[in-house]
Amino acid sequence: MMRKAKWLGIVSVATALTGMAIAQTPVQKLEQGGKLSFRLNDSPYYIRAGVACNIPAFSGGLGDQEPICKTLSDLNGDGIALDFQVTIQEIVNTIQSNELVTFIGTPVDNNKVRWTADRVFDPPHCTFIGGDVQSWFKVTRVYADFTMEISEGSCQLDPYNCLCGNLTLTPFGNTDPPNEDVNYMGFNGLLMQGGDCDSGGPVPVCARTYNINAVAYGGGLFGKGDVNNDCTIDDADLLIVLFNFGSSGQGDVNRDGVVDDADLLIVLFNFGGSC
């Protein structure tokens, strides 16, 4: 029975691999590629105070953040592997928090994906904000809603050294002048004015960056077995899968949580492939 189940699993993978040859939409190529690199560049933002978030406190430009490299997977069980997780500090580098926020990706049409996130902290999460703020902060909510449009180009290593791909993603729907309710990410919480999260406050505040200026990359060969992102599926990728066989580490090409026969079969099926 075990041997039969294993055989059926391999047959299923082979069937899926055969389907890769069928013409795909940019969204399908993004999902199959299995990775996303993303950089939030300087975008407008505001900080407002008050329970109703209606007292202007500060506004300006967010500044360029560090690039993010993430594996895409299905985190909400909807059958669409366009989701990813980032830490709060990865979103805004001056916020010193490793708490995770889940971004759920939903296809809008053949070449657009909408990502949303909404995490509520109860009790509030204490962190420190550096940069111009230099204050302790109790985060009560992190949220986001933005849509990216996908264009296709040549397959190459992306500028962030994350993946070998052929897709570029840019914000869809941005306006001029900027609209604070379009393509945004935000934080709600309590700004503390003392030396920790237990003193000197609290002042209810909210912060939002909007009309986001970002460039992301995806697609390519990772989902086909290019584990080391050198734009070629070869012995190096095969060795990585074999070396990590049975673990949950590098080499999990199909993103199911374990490096196993299915990943090995994908690499072998596409062996010799390149951009």
Encode the chain (275 residues) as per-residue pLDDT tens digits.
444 444 444 444 544 444 444 678 999 999 988 899 999 999 999 999 999 999 999 999 999 999 999 999 999 999 999 999 999 999 999 999 999 999 999 999 999 999 999 999 999 999 999 988 899 999 999 999 999 999 999 888 999 999 989 999 999 999 999 999 999 999 999 999 888 998 887 999 999 999 999 999 998 788 888 888 888 899 999 999 999 998 887 888 888 889 999 999 999 998 988 76
Instruction: Name the domain boundary from 175, 193, 218.
Output: 218
Q: Domain of residue 32: give its range.
A: 26-218
Q: Is residue 275 part of a domain?
A: no
Contact 92, 65 (CB under 8 A): yes
59 shares a domain with 99: yes
Contact 146, 161 (CB under 8 A): no
198 shares a domain with 70: yes
CB-based burial of residue 66 (10 Å sphere; 0-12 exposed, 13-18 middle, 19+ buried)? exposed
Contacts 24+ apart (CB under 8 A), 97-106: 97/125, 97/127, 97/139, 99/125, 99/127, 99/139, 101/142, 101/144, 102/75, 102/76, 103/144, 104/75, 104/76, 104/78, 105/72, 105/80, 106/78, 106/80, 106/82
> What's the pLDDT at 275?
63
Instruction: Name the domain boundary from 193, 218, 243.
Output: 218
12 shares a domain with 41: no
Q: Is residue 135 part of a domain?
A: yes
Q: Is residue 247 part of a domain?
A: yes
198 shares a domain with 142: yes
213 shares a domain with 114: yes
245 shares a domain with 187: no
The tokens for 147 are 């849509």
| Residue 1 DSSP label | -
Q: Is residue 274 part of a domain?
A: no
Contact 148, 112 (CB under 8 A): yes
38 shares a domain with 10: no
Q: Is residue 101 part of a domain?
A: yes
Q: Is residue 223 part of a domain?
A: no
Residue 263: which CATH number? 1.10.1330
31 shares a domain with 12: no
Q: Is residue 104 part of a domain?
A: yes
The count of domains in the chain is 2
Q: Is residue 213 part of a domain?
A: yes
194 shares a domain with 234: no
